[in-house]
Every structure is written in structure tokens, then in C-alpha cells.
Amino acid sequence: MNGILKRRTASTNELDVRGAASGPRPSAVVQVIIVGAGFSGMAAAARLKKEGENSFVILEKAAEVGGTWRDNTYPGCACDVKSNLYSYSFAPRSNWSRLYAPQPEIFEYLKECSHNLGLRDHIRFNSQVQEARFDKKSASWKIKVSEKRAGKSARQYWLEARLLVMAPGPLNRPFFPDIPGLQDFPGPVFHSSQWDHSVDLKGKRVAVVGSGASAIQVVPGIIDEVKELHLFQRSAAYVTPRNDRPVAAWKRRLFARLPSLQRLQRLRVYAYNELIAGNAIYGSRLLSFLATRLALRHMRSSIKDPELQARLTPGYRIGCKRVLLSDDYYPALARSHTRVISSAVSSIAGNCVRGENGEWADVDVIILCTGFQVSNMHRALDLDVFGSDGQSLKETWERDGMQAHLGTTVSGFPNMLFYLGPNTGLGHNSMVHIMESQSNYLADYLSILRRNPGQYLDVRPDAQQAFNKEVDRKMQGSAWIAGGCSSWYLNSKGQNNVLWPGSTLSFRNRTRVVSLRQYRLLSTQQA
């Protein structure tokens, strides 16, 4: 690892593990371990580099960086935030080909960042974290890793770190609906995030299950190939114009020569999303009314059939579900070989896919655009995390609900920071802003640990509880809770533990520094 991994030392700048609890002896010790090399994991790593911290390792289960932008390769896959904003503020890119970047460009951008920011030497690819345990006696995390090796059995080893950064990403575990007969369907079945490129859709009868953010890209992406397309829509979505277009060559050259103009453009897009789009969805009644009219007018401009218009008209308040952007979704639904079935799927028998409303379709291929396990992120974690008293994170969140302080730290799990944890999601702006806010928190957290060798930070239970009560209070009356719909924002108890109920500026302010009043600074002697 080119000297990145640090051996045991008594230096206060490195983790002193002498006298550590009995158990597997780690192969190496570092200051920080990051789980995941997606957008958020690399944001954390870049901030560590900026702070002068080079004793860190990124553990990535796949063979390349990119996370969701590596894995999602379905036709039409693209971002719904403008390219200039959906990128790191510290690593701008001037040559985006379109206002909304397609998946291959975002994936390429993240690979470029891993090289240009000097992160690749810190990454261990094909390395799946199986278990992480906090040891109070050494004030460190012990991490069990399984490394896949070509042509060989997996190699298992342990690492140790003072600080653990969890960046697995909220969109890393697809949701598969429990549909009777799905396992026995005779044709290809796959999730949009696990697109099977070996399946030729030309001339096929295809069922698309779901009508969310991936479906509105998949449907136009395959409509010209398929013989029939049957969309099973549990509930209609609000879809507003995307107004996507290529970025002119002269503008790309101008941004390359004058980066300040690109920063100004980024600020303009951010301000619009924050002040107009955010308030239209979550705040101002007038803007909400105007946004609803815009979405319905957009639908009616492409859909002329009154019956289809009725099927595509949402029966809930805008913002209750994710508001979608598309220029080509409605035209695809208006095609003569497309059919919208206003129902969830109830069962499958042979090639017949039947809706709960009794409508059915004989199909050759089923594509599941059913999203991800987000409101129950703990169930999607493919590793076990154990806190200071041996408690399981999965069991803790299963019992108490998915909670964290500022969506970042969890009481009883010291020196662990989540990126894009509970209540950090956005429905109106770029998640990169949230990642970079959490990077500020990471930097201050690390500086406290540096000033206090042999000690560790654990967020106070009352501080975490107070924060989550504040979040729940702000959620009441919002479109997410009182909007009249059922969405992936809500857990089984009807709580929204996915979204941030405020402005991105308020989150940036709250995560600017770590308030020691909200934490316990404990020493190994107290263990």
C-alpha cells in the first residue's frame, strides 16, 4: 500500500494499540478506515487528504470506484441534478456534454477524481467488510475484511483504525417485491440497478414494474426496441420538464478558461434549487400550487387521451413522493404499443403478470424498477457493526428506528461517522452539498481526536434523542407525512427517517463544527 498502512507505534499521531483486548491481531493499523468508494466515500477521503491525513484506507467491495454510478447502467440512466452542481465543489469539470450528465460521464468523472485527487493508492478493491467492532480498551475499530482474489479463495484479514467512516451509500441494495410466482416466471427478470445487457429486448413484450425515478428513464430508453411495454404503476408521479440539452462547445471552452464563471453557474443552479424548487415542493403554498399546475400541464401536453390522463394524474400533494424530471417519459407512454396499468402487481402465473385491479398482461421480460431499501438502510447493510458494549447497529436500529445525530453519528458507536445516514436525503437539491457538509464535520471530529490521543468521542444519547425529536416535529404537517401517499421515504411506522426537513444551508451550519456539549469524550482508562 505504498507506505499508507501504519504499523504499531507509540507516536501520538498514530494509533497506539499496545494493551489492546485479546482477539485477532490486525495486519495493519491506520487512523481512518472508509467503507465504500462511491461519491460520499471519496468525498471523505479527499477531505482527509486536505487535512493532511494520509493514514487511511478505503475498502471497496467492487473492482472499481463509483458506487451507484458504477452499478446502474440501464438505458437512459442519468442524473436529475444539473451536472455543474452534481460534482465536487473542489473538483469541477468543465466538459460535461449535457445539462444533466448521463451515467457513463458521471462514472468517468468519479474515476478521474480517484486518480486526480490521489485516492487510488488508498483503495483496496474487491474488499468486502464483514464485521466492525469497537474496542474500548484501545479506543479503536477492529475491521474484518474478505478480499476476493482471481482464481483463488478469498483472503480474510483484520485492520484496525481509530476512526471509522461508513459510506456504503443509501442506494446500494435494490428492493425486490415479494410477488407470488415471480420466481417461476419463464423469461428474464432483473432489477433496473442490475441490468442484464445480455437480454435482447427487440420485439419483446416487456413489463416494467414501478413508476419512479428509474422507470421514467428506462421506459423512454427501451420504448423503440420493444414490441409492447406494459407499465405497472402503483401510483402516478408528478413529473416536471427536464429541459435537458447538450452543453455548447463554446461554453465548455469558456468554463475551462474561466473557472470563476463555472462557479457562478453552479451557485445560480444551487440557489434556484434551494429557493424555488425546494419551497415549491415543501414550503410555499403558492409555489406548490404553481409546481402542481406545471407538472399537470406538462403531462397533458403529451397525453391527449382523457383516460390515460386520469391514470397519470397523482391523487396526493406534490412532494409527498419524489418529484421527477423528464422530457420524454410522457411521449413514451403516449406511444401506441405502451399500456399503463394503474395497479401494483398481485401475482404472476406463467407469462401472465396480473395487477391487483384485475388487469393483466402476457409478457416475455419483467424489469423491476422498484427502487432501493432506503428507509430500512440497516437491513440493507451487508456488514455487521458492533458498538462499545457489543451491541449490534442493525438490532439497535431495528428496535429504536433508524436514528443518528445530525444523520452522522450514532450513540453507543464511538468514533464512527455515517455519510448520507438517516435524515440526510434531499428531494430538491444536490446530495454532494450534504456530503461536503459532513466532510466539514469529519475534519473537526478528526482534529478533536488528534488533540486527545487515547480518547474517543461518543454522542450523548440525550443529544441524539433531542435531534431526532426536532426532526420528527419538523416533519409533522409536511407533504412527506401528510401528503396522502405511501412512499419509500416512510418506514413501516410511518416515520420519515430518510429526508432532511430543512434547507441545505441549515444542514451546512449544523455540521460546521462538532459541539463537545453533545458528546462524551472518554478515555481508554474509563473502559
* Residue 161 pLDDT exceeds 90: yes
* Residue 278 pLDDT exceeds 70: no
Q: Which three cell numbers stand for residue 424?
A: 440526510
User: Which residues, listed in sequence order, are joined to residue 191 by a DSSP beta bridge?
Assistant: 368
Band of residue 379 on the pLDDT scale cut at 50, 70, 90: low
Q: In the chain, what percentage of residues exceed pLDDT 70?
A: 91
Q: Check whether residue 330 and residue 258 sit in a common domain.
A: yes
CB-neighbour burial class of residue 187 (10 A; exposed 0-12, middle 13-18, buried 19+): middle
* Residue 8 pLDDT exceeds 60: no
Band of residue 375 on the pLDDT scale cut at 50, 70, 90: low
Q: Check whether residue 458 and residue 432 sit in a common domain.
A: yes
pLDDT tens figures, 439-498: 999 999 999 999 999 899 999 999 999 999 999 998 887 777 767 777 777 777 777 888
Q: What are phi and psi of 455, to 5 degrees?
A: -125, 165
For the chain, what is the largest distance between any 2 Cα atoms, rounded to a whole number of angstroms? 75
Rounded Cα gap, residues 490 and 284, in angstroms: 22
- Residue 93 placed within a domain: no
Q: Check whether residue 202 and residue 233 sit in a common domain.
A: yes
- Residue 113 placed within a domain: no
H/E element holding 394? helix 393-400
pLDDT tens figures, 392-414: 999 999 888 899 999 999 999 99
Task: Please state the rounded mean pLDDT for residues 66-95.
Answer: 96
Q: Check whether residue 194 and residue 166 sit in a common domain.
A: no
Find cell 407533504 and name the residue: 479
Are 353 and 360 in contact, with CB atoms under 8 Å apart?
A: yes
- Residue 213 placed within a domain: yes
- Residue 347 placed within a domain: yes
- Residue 436 placed within a domain: yes
Sign for the pseudo-dihedral over CA of 49, 54, 55, 61: positive
Q: At what angle do helices 39-50 and 103-116 cross, to 10 degrees?
A: 20
pLDDT for res 275: 84
Band of residue 2 on the pLDDT scale cut at 50, 70, 90: very low
The residue range of the domain holding 498 is 28-65+119-172+374-526
Q: Which three cell numbers stand for residue 455?
A: 480518547
Mean pLDDT of all residues belonging to the chain: 90
Separate counts of helices (H) and strands (E) for the chain: 16, 20
pLDDT tens figures, 186-224: 999 999 999 999 999 999 999 999 999 999 999 999 999
Are 411 and 461 in contact, with CB atoms under 8 Å apart?
A: yes
Q: Check whether residue 232 and residue 301 sit in a common domain.
A: yes
- The length of the chain is 527
Q: Domains in the chain: how many in total?
A: 2
Q: Check whether residue 186 and residue 159 sit in a common domain.
A: no
Band of residue 283 on the pLDDT scale cut at 50, 70, 90: low
Q: Check whether residue 351 and residue 393 sit in a common domain.
A: no
- Residue 81 placed within a domain: no
Band of residue 380 on the pLDDT scale cut at 50, 70, 90: low
pLDDT for res 282: 64
Rounded Cα gap, residues 119 and 167, in angstroms: 15
Q: Which of 313, 346, 368 is the last residue of a domain?
A: 368
Rounded Cα gap, residues 233 and 311, in angstroms: 9
pLDDT tens figures, 27-74: 679 999 999 999 999 999 999 999 999 999 999 999 999 999 999 999
